[in-house]
Amino acid sequence: MNSGEAATRTVVSGVGVVSPIGIGNTAFWQSLMTGRSGVDHLRAFPSSDLPIRFAAEVADFDPVKHLPRKKFLKVMSRDIQLGVGAATLAMQDAQLQSGDVDPNRLGVIYGAGRMSTTPQELADSVRRFAEHHKPFL
């Protein structure tokens, strides 16, 4: 560090996982350790007419359990619900309550596959892809 640079510190104080192999750190870790796969038959929507009928869905996520206020459900897409649920779990893991930390000093790193897409839009994309490529499964 140069003498003119201010020290920047990053602290990871909480982790929240919402994934196809587990919701919460303990469930996720146990699934990893046992080699559990999150890939299964599609259940979110009818898939019998799709060339690929497997996906890694977060099937057992109940947004009411993981969102701070139920009224948020009206304006959140599923992917945003999953992200906010993960952030809520991270806050719980860090043993933080709303207001404990200056919001300007709090951040969330969020990773997701395809976002802001309805299951039907995904199915349409799979169909278009399969018309031009041989499916892997």
The number of folded domains in the chain is 1
Structural domain includes residue 123 = yes
Confidence (pTM):
0.71
Least confident of 20-24, 46-50, 59-63, 133-137: 133-137
pLDDT digits (tens, 9 = 90+) for 60-73: 899 888 887 788 78
Strands 18-19 and 22-23: antiparallel
Structural domain includes residue 71 = yes
Quickly state the pLDDT bin for 76 (edges 50, 70, 90).
confident
Q: Show the tokens assigned to 123.
A: 């199915």
Contact 92, 25 (CB under 8 A): no
Provide the CATH number for the domain around residue 62: 3.40.47.10
